[in-house]
Amino acid sequence: MSVAAIFPEGSVNALPILDRLTRGVMEAATPQPNDDPLERRAIERVQRGDSGAYDYLVSKYTKRVVSIAWNIVRNAADAEDLAQEAFVRAYETIGRFRAGERFGPWIYRIVTNLALDVVKHRSRFRHEELNVAEPAARRDSADLRASTSEIVQRVDRALESLPEMQRIVARLSLVEGFEHAEIAGMMNLSEGTVRSHLSLARAKLREQLADLYE
């Protein structure tokens, strides 16, 4: 099931998701001031209708956005599609973006929610995927760098063995390096829920990888 099939361009069904995403951002507890003057200026220009200024924001955040998407959906093609979709949606709702805040948390939140919807969609149709010779979720290792060491591959396998929410929270924390509050904001969860998922994930990882760091 491709991302394009879940989020067709101009889809009417996408509007509630978009509204949920942008509303969530507006209600974020701790707005972070933007310390990048170029980014601030680019946002202001985009809000005034200069779409060319959006290139700066896309080039600044593409790598991180793709990485976040990939760590959730575990498929390079889907991650690329999700990043593209996230940037378009952020552009469409840039008018609601509060001046002076950082663009990063906003775009991370949009891409995380889009990726979570893909994961939910996949699990709903998992029985269909079992009949496919090479399901999308199983191609993950092929996307990793060839130079990835045996230890890192074991860490990757251990993370993949976790239940879905624990896996996503653990990846956003350990791989992407986000704080609890940031993950909570990105996933529309309370900080307590994030801590709980992470605590369970850590216990399982400790058990599985005990021999690795002796």
Q: Tokens for 48?
A: 């005034």
CA angle (140, 81, 122) in 5-degree steps:
55
SS3 breakdown of the chain: % helix, strand, coil, rounded to 5? 70, 0, 25
Q: Tokens for 199?
A: 């605590």
Report in angstroms the alpha-carbon separations of 96 from 5, 34, 50, 141.
27, 16, 16, 38
87 interacts with other proteins by CB under 8 A: yes
Q: Looking at beta carbons only, is 28 or 154 nearer to other proteins?
A: 154
Could you give the string, one character per residue 41-80, with x where binding to other proteins holds by CB under 8 A and - elsewhere?
----------x--xx--xx--xx--xx--xx----x--xx
User: What is the nearest approach in angstroms of other proteins to the Cβ of residue 62?
Assistant: 5
* Site residues (CB under 8 A) for other proteins, limited to 90-119: 91-92
User: What is the nearest approach in angstroms of other proteins to the Cβ of residue 151?
Assistant: 6
Distance CA 13, CA 118 (A): 14
> Which of 184, 12, 58 is CA-nearest to residue 112?
184
Helix (H, G, I), strand (E, B) or coil at 101: strand
* Site residues (CB under 8 A) for other proteins, limited to 127-156: 143-145, 148-149, 151-152, 155-156
Give the footprint of other proteins on this chain (CB under 8 A).
9, 51, 54-55, 58-59, 62-63, 66-67, 70-71, 76, 79-80, 83-84, 87-88, 91-92, 143-145, 148-149, 151-152, 155-156, 159, 171, 174-177, 202, 205-206, 209, 213-214
